Amino acid sequence: KAGVTQTPRYLIKTRGQQVTLSCSPISGHRSVSWYQQTPGQGLQFLFEYFSETQRNKGNFPGRFSGRQFSNSRSEMNVSTLELGDSALYLCASSLYDPNTEAFFGQGTRLTVV
Amino acid sequence: GENVEQHPSTLSVQEGDSAVIKCTYSDSASNYFPWYKQELGKRPQLIIDIRSNVGEKKDQRIAVTLNKTAKHFSLHITETQPEDSAVYFCAARGSGSNFGNEKLTFGTGTRLTIIP
């Protein structure tokens, strides 16, 4: 069974640009969550999608957005990039039941210069 | 919303000794508590989890205890080995009975270093 796949693995962007990250969950998983990881800040929750609907949202500015497709694949978009957006972005997928394991992808490391 | 606090932020123990990491949570509706281990440059991976109908769970050298009344849970690693060195994250998730609490909320992590 294939794991959670995130693309691209690495990305370098310039301030002011926008970026789109992709996450393909494990087959059969309908919940996809996105996290921002920076040194010393742990895993900051961005948003969670379930059956194409945003079910939960963290405390990030509106520049951060996402969506989920009918095949459960998800994308997140960051517009007007800032230097502080440099981070590892992780997605995690799980079954519809919240009390089951969340599996993480390898992450996309975004560097904003 | 849910708030998870984790302590300590760093922990160093001698190889063979035990390590304990503690977390508290705020939402009494939370009923799923996983622990993740993240090695340098790798993705977080689940090492053990506990559900609210259980007070303790053990898997070889790793155990987790849960006190729902006090809203805290702990990770215990016994007979520590060098490969246990990593960052450990606790997390809490609700059942969905309260709208918006299905998300997994993480603690800020504990960097565990095992001294040979």
What are the pLDDT digits (tens) for A75-112? Answer: 999 999 999 999 999 999 988 765 678 999 999 999 99
Q: What is the dihedral of CA A4, B32, B44, A62, to 10 degrees?
A: 70
Whether A43 and B44 lie within 8 Å, measured CB to CB: yes
How many other C-beta atoms lie within 10 A of the C-beta of residue B63?
18
pLDDT in the model for residue B9: 95
If DSSP codes are grouped into helix, strand and coil, which group holds residue A84? helix
pLDDT per position as a tens digit, A8-59: 999 999 999 999 999 999 999 999 999 999 987 789 999 999 889 998 888 8
Interchain CB contact of B41 with A (< 8 Å)? no
Instruction: Answer for the pair A65, A76: CB distance below 8 angstroms, yes or no.
Output: yes
pLDDT in the model for residue B11: 98
If DSSP codes are grouped into helix, strand and coil, which group holds residue A83? helix
Q: How far is B79 from A27, CA to CA, in rounded Å?
A: 37
Whether B46 and A99 lie within 8 Å, measured CB to CB: no
Chain B residues with beta carbon closer than 8 angstroms to that of A98? 32, 93-96, 102
Q: What is the DSSP string of A57-82?
A: E-S--TTEEEEE-TTS-EEEEE-S--
Rg from Cα positions in chain B: 14
% of chain B with per-residue pLDDT over 70? 94
Instruction: Answer for the pair B66, A20: CB distance below 8 angstroms, yes or no.
Output: no
Residue of B nearest to A100 (CA): B32
Query: How many angstroms separate the first and last alpha carbons of chain A?
Result: 37
Chain A residues with beta carbon closer than 8 angstroms to that of B46? 101-103
Q: Nearest CA of chain B to the CA of A108: how many Å?
A: 11
Chain B residues with beta carbon closer than 8 angstroms to that of A6? none
Nearest to B21 by CA among B51, B62, B50: B62
Interchain CB contact of B49 with A (< 8 Å)? yes
pLDDT > 80? residue B95: no
pLDDT per position as a tens digit, B20-59: 999 999 988 888 999 999 999 899 999 999 988 889 999 9
